[in-house]
Structure 1
């Protein structure tokens, strides 16, 4: 069966990756284009409640919400989209995600992984880490700007979200390489004024 996932509703642009529903609410209020709930600690009903609260937070807003990893809970709670890693492609029921009408984002770290991700026609692909990052242990070396340009060419019409070590000092360079979205973790969650950071990033597109 040929899989296909809906296109994103609007350009993903500034993409905040945050740990809980309170952060999702904060990013929606700040006007973030896209938010991903990436929670590694909750499970069961507590996890479901966090996803439910996050889904409620974006209702009526222009923010696009993706749930990291927990695709079954994302479907059950009526989420907009789900984001999966390469290893999740082996275990997740991609057909069920497609049937539910959720958008799908997939992480990639090489030409081969990007090729594999594009084969299921996801809503977007994430490529990284572009620069060194301390947020999580990466299986590959930083990809750099030149490699990102190659990925953008390879992805064609599929939006490319750049992630890994991105901040306000290098964001413009990443966009110039063709990325359609900048995903950040620490640049927001460790900022003194996260709301101001959202606006500063969004100004890079203007």
Structure 2
């Protein structure tokens, strides 16, 4: 392939075939890619042109090289989606976390225990307490109240970040962002029997999350959101579809700017759960908004079956 491979044509073919993955993002077109074979270099440059950040472009290019070696040919139309090409190991694994339902349904991310109890009583199936405070006593009190708030309901409660307090309170699970992984004792969370969810924003972070064998992986932000300052551009439906295909053996949560207007497109990507924040807490009637979103989820699932 090295003597006949047309790098420019390969880059153009990849970009043309996968334009649905392009996003508006500052990237460096024409920067020399890391050393690699022809398939790697072409796919790396094409990924950069499509707006993937450099670390994600490296993951894509490495997988495309492995795919080409495995298939015996370079195919610009075949975006890599086989876990083996990304060095994702088969499941179950020795370091695996306890599983959670493949279909977590509506996943509400909420700021207080009062909100958690309110949405649990409204029938929301999966809840996350994202309580922000630097005062440990307040954190402990809020988490304990949230755990009590879901008792007697079917809701599954994940605690954002505060893994030690979550263990002490007996929460169902913990959710960690990429930065939280650096300071968390993941082995202690696993030993306590809690589930683990991890946030990701692209290929490099997905592959890092996979190394922990979590209970679910969250992917976003799918659409623009004003709730958090994001380091990466909104990923969009095209990328979400590819991410879900690659991580198909996981329970998956799509999150970021999702509401009624785009819910059906998200569900078409075969994710098992949709995370919402503003769609509930900013609604005139959060209970009604939750009921409508859950009904839309059921309708979407029926249409897929």
Partner of 2:127 in structure 1?
35
Q: Which of the residues 80, 98, 104 maps onto 1:6?
A: 98
Contact 1:129 1:164 in 2 (8 A): yes
Contact 2:100 2:195 in 1 (8 A): yes
Backbone CA RMSD of aligned residues: 1.3
Instruction: Give the number of equivalent residue pairs.
Output: 206
**Superposition deviation, residue 88 in structure 1:** 1.4
Contact 1:2 1:120 in 2 (8 A): no
Partner of 2:258 in structure 1?
166
**Superposition deviation, residue 66 in structure 1:** 0.5
Q: Which of the residues 212, 218, 223 maps onto 1:131?
A: 223
Partner of 1:96 in structure 2?
188
For residues 270 and 134 of structure 2, the distance between their equivalents in structure 1, rounded to whole angstroms, comes to: 35
Partner of 2:156 in structure 1?
64
For residues 156 and 170 of structure 1, the distance between their equivalents in structure 2, rounded to whole angstroms, comes to: 21
Contact 2:254 2:266 in 1 (8 A): yes
Contact 1:74 1:81 in 2 (8 A): yes
Gaps of 5+ in 1: none
The TM-score, its normalising length taken from structure 1, stands at 0.96
Partner of 2:301 in structure 1?
none
If each structure's helix is expressed as a fraction of its own residues, which one has the higher value?
2
Q: Does 1:110 align with 2:221?
A: no
**Superposition deviation, residue 60 in structure 1:** 2.3
**Superposition deviation, residue 42 in structure 1:** 5.2
The TM-score, its normalising length taken from structure 2, stands at 0.66
The Cα offsets for residues 144-181 of structure 1, whole Å up to 9 and x where unpaired, read as 00100111111121011011101111111101111111
Gaps of 5+ in 2: 1-92, 299-305
SS at match of 2:142: helix
Contact 2:102 2:251 in 1 (8 A): no
